[in-house]
Amino acid sequence: MDKNLFEYLLRLGDDSLILGHRLSEWCGHGPILEEDIALTNIALDLIGQTNSILEYAGKVEGAGRNADSLAFLRFDKDYKNCLLVEQPNGDFGVTILRQFFFDAYRVPLFTMLQNSSDEQLAAIAEKSLKETRYHLKHSSEWVIRLGDGTDESHARIQSALDDLWRYTDELFFSDETDADLKARNIIPDAAAVKTEWQKTVQAVLTEATLSVPTNNWKFEGGRKGLHSEHLGYILAELQFMQRAYPNMEW
Amino acid sequence: MVTEQEIWKYLTEVPDPEIPVLSVVDLGVVRKVDLSEDEIKVTITPTYSGCPAMKRMEDDIVEKLNEKGFGKVSVELVLSPAWTTDWITEEARIKLREYGIAPPENEPDKSVLFANPIVVPCPKCGSNNTRMVSQFGSTACKAHYQCNDCLEPFDYFKCLR
């Protein structure tokens, strides 16, 4: 088994899975009907991407696991998503800013992954990129609308920014797994993705009249399986059916 | 001996479960038909990663070909080259409009974040005076629009490329 590729696919797939699950929590609770539908549409794209990525991860591992068993039957420390995606939905400002940070990272990542020497990963990236561009457009427009909106909307999304900023550095986490895959031209350099991310973030935050916190306190851990308390609660809900009724299908 | 052409013809009888005026061929989802001695292999590609209609299309393709007397049919899903609305046939665009769904327009690249909004003519009255209500509509592939002249709310099959 290509252990490093498997590990990377879990990181990529779990980001989509956990954020997709978080967005699905908005179903029936959106601030307006159109947003309810938008957030759940984005959730659907993310779960679809998860399916492709984790299905492939199962093949790479070669131990008989598929997308379902990887999504539903692992313990918390085996999930490799970044901390950003598991943070609670908060108000609409928190959700949309979390989405924006993520989309602004995923667009350059998928763009570069299209050139991966791994054919299946390149195919998944090519497919996902088209959808993710719509997500980025949607989240950027909302960040600007809220930031450059009323005093109330500005204050709320600025507070979301002050809170979520510390999780953004982990998007560009890079360890020996990444170094090996990078050397084999399977994944791009995290620093190159970060440069693109910074450009988008700076352009949108400026337009939105928002400011980045000055303190440089950063969190990380998710990529190593060390999560915030929130992941356990997500998994309790996500895994309930498979844990209560093993192997059930419908 | 059945020909590939015949199989393609049968596949035009398999409707898209969500937009039944279109077939899976009109939509550009069917990419390839392979005939071997005792098996037909149909290769399809998803419109959107999470499109819930894909599984249904797979089942419907198998069912249709079984119905036509072919016992061994397999459907394979491939991701690359990724599906684009450019593969929707001209004929299908007319069918979409008649059905009340505005077909995809020639949109600028989505990577341009602050591009001007595109003009989507109303499928009901033909007016260009329409507005986007939401980029995300009733299914993953559609946006929600409204005509400012005849007030018709309508779906727009958004451009994906």
CATH number for the domain that contains residue A85: 1.20.1260.10
- Asked if A204 has any chain B CB less than 8 Å from its own CB, the reply is yes
pLDDT digits (tens, 9 = 90+) for B101-116: 999 987 755 545 666 6
Mean pLDDT (whole number) for B34-58:
92
Mean pLDDT score of chain A, rounded to an integer?
96
- Asked if A11 has any chain B CB less than 8 Å from its own CB, the reply is no
B155 to chain A, minimum CA–CA distance in Å?
13
- Residues of B19-28 as b/e, b for ≥16 C-beta within 10 angstroms? beebbbbbbb
Asked if B27 contacts B92 with a C-beta cutoff of 8 angstroms, the reply is yes
Decide if pLDDT at A228 tops 60. Answer: yes
Count helices and strands (H / E) in chain B.
3, 7
Interface test with chain A among B51, B113, B133, by most A beta carbons within 10 Å: B113
Structural domains counted in chain A: 1
* Among candidate residues B83, B103, B134, the one where a domain is terminated: B83
B158:A44 CB<8 A: no
How far is A73 from A86, CA to CA, in rounded Å?
18
Scan for tokens 């999504």, then name that residue. Answer: A71
Q: What is the domain extent for residue B127?
A: 88-157
Return the DSSP state at A167.
G
How far is A220 from A178, CA to CA, in rounded Å?
16
Residue A5's CB: how many other CB atoms inside 10 A?
22
Residue A250 lies inside a defined structural domain of this protein: no
**Do residues B76 and B19 both lie within one domain?**
yes
* Among candidate residues B62, B83, B104, the one where a domain is terminated: B83
Rounded to the nearest 5 percent, the helix, strand and coil shares of chain B are 20, 20, 55
Residue A249 lies inside a defined structural domain of this protein: no
**Do residues B55 and B119 both lie within one domain?**
no
CA–CA distance from B143 to each of A28, A132, B50, B103, B132 (Å)? 19, 15, 16, 11, 8
**Do residues B75 and B92 both lie within one domain?**
no
pLDDT digits (tens, 9 = 90+) for A169-210: 999 999 999 999 999 999 999 999 999 999 999 999 999 999
pLDDT digits (tens, 9 = 90+) for A87-141: 999 999 999 999 999 999 999 999 999 999 999 999 999 999 999 999 999 999 9
B48:A128 CB<8 A: no
How far is B128 from A42, CA to CA, in rounded Å?
28
- Asked if B140 has any chain A CB less than 8 Å from its own CB, the reply is yes
Residue A10 lies inside a defined structural domain of this protein: yes
Write the CATH number for B31.
Answer: 3.30.300.130
Return the DSSP state at A226.
-
